[in-house]
């Protein structure tokens, strides 16, 4: 029976790689640069960390970006609270908004995203960027609710995939892309009836989602961002570190982190290094496992 010890390497501990952010979020590893890009949401900056070059500012005005990912061509995709959409930054620095409206109405404030092997972009749209001017611009919502969306860059089509999440945040696919996991942290706003859980949705052959079910409850604190390894284990943020669950929802243990964790991503030559954003800092630890988030850059199985 697996437990947290099976992922840990003797002598390896969580290390603070850099600090100085107001609220660090959305890490993404850039394979061609051996660097990590992450958002300082409240500082409205996009930051870059490299093991030799240290911490630098990639963008002085990130439009309150939050989650980041790479598309099939290796371009940087960002969830922007400020412009309330998904942006794409090309290698030459050119930046454009890919999608910011559904049926003519402005999105709330896209929070996190993943890219499927077919190139579609899946993202969550809670209201946190429009609730105040701290992480975006205070504004009324034009949407009826907070949903999980699928955007097809080739056709420009945007679809609501599920309404069965009260406050969707982090999301990720299982290694075979037959299950979509979504964090629901609605307990923050609804302390009695809200959720602090990861929900699981079966992905049907036609790409639609089945009915959601509770996979696991995440405590202490709330689930925010998370990533999945090749065996289907979930590495999820919580108040005290990274909580690890197997694909059935059983908690395997905790990787302690000194600050409240917001998100994480796998990186390194074989995706076995876990980069962790936590409040003001970027942390990292070498693990005995392999991440999955770059399988979309490979040929479909």
- Domains detected in the chain: 4-296 (2.120.10.30)
Nearest to 37 by CA among 52, 59, 64: 59
Residue corresponding to tokens 């010890």:
5
Measured from the Cβ of residue 298, the count of other Cβ atoms closer than 10 Å reads 9
How would you write the pLDDT of the chain (301 residues) with one tens digit per residue? 578 989 999 999 999 999 999 999 999 999 999 999 999 999 999 999 999 999 999 999 999 999 999 999 999 999 999 999 999 999 888 999 999 999 999 999 999 999 999 999 999 999 999 999 999 999 999 999 999 999 999 999 999 999 999 999 999 999 999 999 999 999 988 898 889 999 999 999 888 999 999 999 999 899 999 999 999 999 999 999 999 999 999 999 999 999 999 999 999 988 999 999 999 999 999 999 989 877 777 644 3
DSSP reduced 3-state for 109: coil
Q: What is the pLDDT of residue 3?
A: 82
Active-site residues: which are they? 224
Q: What is the pLDDT of residue 297?
A: 73
How far apart, in whole angstroms, are the C-alpha atoms of residue 106 and residue 197? 27
Nearest to 69 by CA among 33, 99, 98, 26: 26
Q: What is the pLDDT of residue 299?
A: 46
Q: What is the pLDDT of residue 298?
A: 61
Q: What is the pLDDT of residue 301?
A: 35
Close Cβ partners of 209 (under 8 Å, ≥ 6 residues apart): 148, 161, 162, 180, 201, 202, 203
DSSP reduced 3-state for 187: helix
């Amino acid at each position: 029976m697996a437990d947290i010890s099976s992922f840990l390497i003797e002598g390896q501990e969580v290390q603070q790689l850099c600090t100085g952010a107001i609220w660090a979020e959305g890490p993404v590893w850039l394979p061609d640069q051996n660097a990590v890009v992450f958002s300082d949401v409240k500082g409205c900056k996009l930051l870059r960390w490299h093991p030799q070059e240290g911490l630098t500012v990639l963008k002085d005005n990130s439009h309150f970006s939050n989650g980041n990912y790479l598309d099939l061509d290796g371009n940087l995709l960002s969830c922007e609270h400020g412009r309330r959409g998904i942006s794409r930054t090309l290698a030459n620095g050119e930046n454009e908004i890919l999608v910011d409206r559904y049926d003519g109405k402005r999105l709330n404030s896209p929070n996190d995203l993943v890219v499927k092997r077919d190139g579609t972009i899946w993202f969550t749209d809670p209201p946190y960027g429009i609730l105040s001017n701290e992480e975006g611009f205070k504004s009324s919502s034009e949407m009826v609710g907070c949903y999980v969306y699928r955007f097809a860059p080739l056709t420009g089509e945007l679809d609501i995939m599920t309404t069965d999440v009260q406050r969707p945040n982090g999301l990720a696919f299982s290694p075979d892309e037959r299950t979509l996991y979504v964090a629901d942290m609605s307990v923050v706003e609804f302390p009695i009836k809200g959720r602090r859980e990861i929900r699981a949705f079966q992905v049907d052959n036609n790409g639609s989602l089945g009915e959601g079910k509770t996979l696991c409850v995440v405590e202490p604190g709330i689930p925010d961002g998370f990533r999945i390894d090749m065996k289907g284990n979930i590495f999820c943020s919580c108040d005290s570190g990274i909580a690890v669950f197997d694909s059935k929802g059983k908690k395997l243990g905790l990787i302690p982190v000194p600050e409240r964790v917001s998100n994480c991503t796998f990186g390194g030559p074989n995706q076995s290094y876990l980069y962790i954003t936590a409040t003001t800092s970027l942390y990292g630890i070498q693990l005995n496992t392999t991440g999955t988030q770059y399988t979309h850059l490979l040929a479909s199985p």
